[in-house]
């Protein structure tokens, strides 16, 4: 693995920012149809902070921003788009994972023992592994984060933040916007790339006035017909057209 030029103070600042966002979000309340809210920054704090400590401890040229955790990715590992094999085998991260105070019986927390694969994460990290090889080579200039660290469920159904009522979404966005602006200020990227249009839109609002360029790639969700027709090729083409990656 390529050794990153580590800045421990930067990693500590990222971890502190994540903890403060997590604490602020814990004060919010959500109504039906939300049945359960998971905050992996709390119950999966060990791997979440190990990710920032190992891979966030340097300035980045590109920061990818996702929407919120998926049930078999960050919900299990604490890492954005955290598909088990990618986090454990490619990033070399594995740490104890607890459980939220109220667990959804239809979405149990199994941590690194989870046998389900997060398709979006498998596609995203699979592209980065194929293009860069060692994880350290990717993270030397890139980082992946999520706009919102909370996962919402309506029974067994995953609810994305944009489906929340406006009165509940506004305070959530205020907290997440402030954290994202802080993240960008710490990492000083040239590019912020939304994974999907919604994430790009929130990034533009949060980072308004900062010296950063914006773009987006197609979301790798299996619910997207376009992503299912060859997500890695489409995302690589979009990044090349923006000038983020060489063609």
CATH code (residue 72): 3.40.470.10
Examine the pLDDT at 3 and tell me if it is beyond 60: no
Q: Dihedral sign for Cα 114, 11, 179, 185, please.
A: negative
Identify whether 247 is part of a domain.
no
Examine the pLDDT at 37 and tell me if it is beyond 80: yes
Q: Containing H/E element for 11? A: helix 8-25
As for how many domains the chain has, the answer is 1
Identify whether 220 is part of a domain.
yes
Check if the beta carbon of residue 203 is closer than 8 Å to that of residue 178.
no
User: How confident is the model at residue 247, as a pLDDT?
Assistant: 86
Examine the pLDDT at 230 and tell me if it is beyond 90: yes
* pLDDT tens digits along 133-166: 999 999 999 999 999 999 999 998 999 999 999 9
Examine the pLDDT at 1 and tell me if it is beyond 60: no
Identify whether 44 is part of a domain.
yes
Identify whether 138 is part of a domain.
yes
The total of other beta-carbon atoms located within 10 Å of residue 175's CB is: 20
pLDDT-derived band of residue 4, with 50, 70 and 90 as boundaries?
Answer: low
* pLDDT mean over 229-234: 97
Domain housing 167: 8-242
Identify whether 33 is part of a domain.
yes
Q: Tell me the C-alpha distance between 158 and 164, whole Å.
A: 12
* pLDDT tens digits along 162-208: 999 999 999 999 999 999 999 999 999 999 999 999 999 999 999 99
Identify whether 75 is part of a domain.
yes
The total of other beta-carbon atoms located within 10 Å of residue 167's CB is: 8
Please tell me the total number of residues recorded for the chain in this structure. 247
């Amino acid at each position: 693995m390529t050794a990153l030029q580590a800045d421990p103070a930067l990693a500590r600042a990222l971890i502190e920012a994540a903890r403060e966002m997590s604490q602020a979000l814990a004060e919010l309340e959500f109504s039906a149809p939300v049945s359960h809210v998971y905050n992996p920054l709390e119950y999966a704090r060990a791997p979440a902070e190990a990710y920032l400590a190992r891979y966030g401890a340097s300035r980045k040229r590109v920061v990818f921003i996702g929407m919120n955790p998926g049930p078999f990715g960050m919900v299990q590992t604490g890492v954005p788009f955290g598909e088990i094999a990618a986090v454990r085998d490619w990033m070399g991260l594995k740490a104890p994972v607890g459980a939220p105070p109220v667990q959804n019986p239809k979405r149990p927390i199994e941590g690194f023992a989870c046998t389900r694969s997060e398709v979006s994460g498998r596609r995203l990290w699979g592209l980065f592994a194929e293009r860069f090889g060692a994880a350290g080579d990717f993270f030397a200039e890139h980082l992946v984060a999520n706009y919102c660290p909370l996962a919402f469920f309506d029974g067994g159904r995953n609810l994305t933040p944009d489906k929340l009522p406006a009165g509940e979404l506004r305070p959530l966005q205020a907290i997440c916007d402030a954290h994202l602006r802080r993240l960008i200020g710490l990492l000083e990227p040239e590019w912020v790339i939304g994974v999907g249009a919604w994430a790009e839109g929130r990034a533009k609002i949060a980072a308004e006035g900062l010296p950063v360029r914006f773009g987006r790639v197609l979301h790798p969700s299996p619910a997207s017909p376009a992503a299912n027709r060859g997500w890695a090729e489409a995302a690589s083409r979009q990044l090349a057209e923006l000038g983020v990656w060489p063609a």
